[in-house]
Structure 1
Amino acid sequence: MKKHPLNRRIQLTGLALATGAALTAGAAQAQDKGSVHLAYVEWASEVASTNVVRAVLEQAGYEVDLTSLSAAAMWQSVATGDADAIVAAWLPTTHADYMERVGDEVVNLGVNLDGTRLGLVVPAYSDVDSIAELDEHADAFNGKITGIDPGAGIMGLTEEVVETYELEEMEVQSGSGATMTAALESAIQNEEQIVVTGWTPHWMFARWDLKYLDDPENVYGGAEQIHTIARQGLEEDMPEAYAILDAFEWTPEQMGEVMLMNQADDADPYENAKQWVEENQDLVQEWLPES
């Protein structure tokens, strides 16, 4: 029997009220759980990780605020309690000074990403495998190492590489991260040789088949890790949020997926993070406390 239109309207109204009540309850739950304040530095890797953590905390019912700061200010904000946590601490080398200054005032929750690295990178099809071989193949590389901003730490190390390996036929060319990846893309499209300053995690490893050149003199140093740092008292104030931050851990490949999504035109890192979290619920559930 066909339902009367009035009954249909009553049913739809009831559904709308029920849905609205559920959304209101969810908002109240988030408000009850409180707001988590995350600080970060504007590096592609940290934009990716911080937004993913934001999406996960929101899934757990928290409100989340993000603040972009310089590296020094980011660390200081956690030490003073202005921020609840960061997932952007490069240790033991890159952020060693900050850790030395405020280490006693923060809580180190440990590694959230293992396998960071600096070095010279070439397309996987290149026959060159070591920095020590560059000079003899200088013509193939047009005598240049394509770098990034002249003030970046990796650029100073690359100048040291040129001296240490006595690369008399190679010159370091500065630019920016964008010009470096553009040059890399052009060379790969034409199957040409190119050597660039590179680091992991970076989205270029998700887009192209690349390899690091061996560094037998270890000028670039060993691998680092990215740590999660929380303010003192967070565990007592918001134990569930603290547990999520403590459990958060992923791989350079997973981070690279999000970083690559963020390279699209008009990309929204927050929306991309929410999409990635939705598509990787098996991993996300490992970060969430058991209910």
Structure 2
Amino acid sequence: MKKIFLVLAGLLLLMAQPVLAAKGKVRMAYVEWDCALASTMVAKAALEQMGYEVETLPVAAAAMWQALGTGNVDASVAAWLPNTHADYLARLQDKVERVSIVTGGAKLGWAVPSYVTISSIEELNAHADRFNNEIIGIDPGAGLMRLSEQAIADYGLQLELVDGSGATMTAALANALKNKQWIVVTGWTPHWMFGKWDLKYLDDPKGVLGGEEQIETVVRQGLKTDMPEVYTFFSNFGWDSAEQLQMVMAWNQEGGTPEENAHRFLKEHPETVNRWMSR
């Protein structure tokens, strides 16, 4: 009898707890750039607050777009348009939908410390030895790397593009700055490194690396029908200012996990979050 009583008591206790049944599962893909990580984790936290289970998948740009095109993921808040990811969009434009602008003022380029005395990509060959005959890049699947290869060809550069990741690029940059060495890296804005260090973009007179861009939210076709509330959320999603995104990126560098900092943003900026969730 005592065992039966304990079992019944346990069942009653469970029944008394609020049931937080997930409304469904949302899958998001993103490229492993710091700005994409910050936006994705904040969107994930907001969707979870709405009652959804959210899976995030860090992948290369080509895989991100392919997953959107096949419907294997529902959305990405990391599409660089109209230039960097233009080829992917052109191939999949009838299978995906552009629904919001995450942030404007985005830019790709090659960055150097401010103490480097050249100002243009056209000057790199004349000082190649000071740069160790290298341009420090990121992951080989990134659109920035594809454009950088094109820039090397178009400018006839004798420097080698070294692939790696966003983390290895910033580590190499930090080491060069510490030792006052010359270095050129593949860079982009928004990025926390421009707030932490004194850097400048090299001029790109041929425009190979593109002009100003925007980061957009792209969703799979059919999301509006399958998950209308999620579709509305992504249609509303976007930072109120570039400074908001830069702030979250800085938090991620200063401490705490991206997930913890995402929840911090939700707590400290309820007006922005409520806008995303409004119908």
Q: TM-score range by the shorter chain?
A: 0.7 to 0.9
Map of 1:66 onto structure 2: 56
Matched, 1:174 2:162: yes
Equivalent residue for 2:202, pick from 213, 219, 224: 213
RMSD: 3.4
Separation of aligned partners in 2, 1:128 and 1:201: 23
Larger radius of gyration: 1
**Alpha-carbon shift at residue 233 of structure 1 (Å):** 3.7
Equivalent residue for 2:258, pick from 269, 277, 282: 269
Equivalent residue pairs, number: 262
Matched, 1:226 2:223: no
Separation of aligned partners in 1, 2:238 and 2:70: 25
Change (3 A) 1:263 1:166: same
Unmatched tracts of structure 2, length 5 or more: 1-12
Map of 1:239 onto structure 2: 228
Listed one character per residue, the Cα deviations across residues 179-208 of structure 1 (whole Å, up to 9, x for unaligned) are 432231123234444322212333322322
| Range 87-96 or range 148-157, more displaced | 148-157
Letter matched to residue 219 of structure 1: V
Q: Is the 8 A contact 1:235 1:242 kept in 2?
A: yes
Give the percent of matched residue pairs that are identical in Structure 1 and Structure 2. 45
Letter matched to residue 111 of structure 2: V
Q: Secondary structure at the match of 1:101?
A: helix
Matched, 1:254 2:247: no
Change (3 A) 1:280 1:100: same
Separation of aligned partners in 1, 2:232 and 2:99: 10
Map of 2:101 onto structure 1: 111
Q: Is the 8 A contact 1:107 1:229 kept in 2?
A: yes
Change (3 A) 1:150 1:47: closer
Unmatched tracts of structure 1, length 5 or more: 1-16
TM-score (norm 2): 0.75
**Alpha-carbon shift at residue 248 of structure 1 (Å):** 0.9
**Alpha-carbon shift at residue 245 of structure 1 (Å):** 0.9
Q: Secondary structure at the match of 2:137?
A: coil
Alignment of 1:1-291 (within 5 A): 24=18, 27-28=20-21, 31=22, 34-44=23-33, 45-135=35-125, 141-142=130-131, 144-148=133-137, 151=140, 153-155=143-145, 157-162=147-152, 164-165=154-155, 171-172=159-160, 174-177=162-165, 178-250=167-239, 251-263=241-253, 268-289=257-278
Separation of aligned partners in 2, 1:63 and 1:246: 19
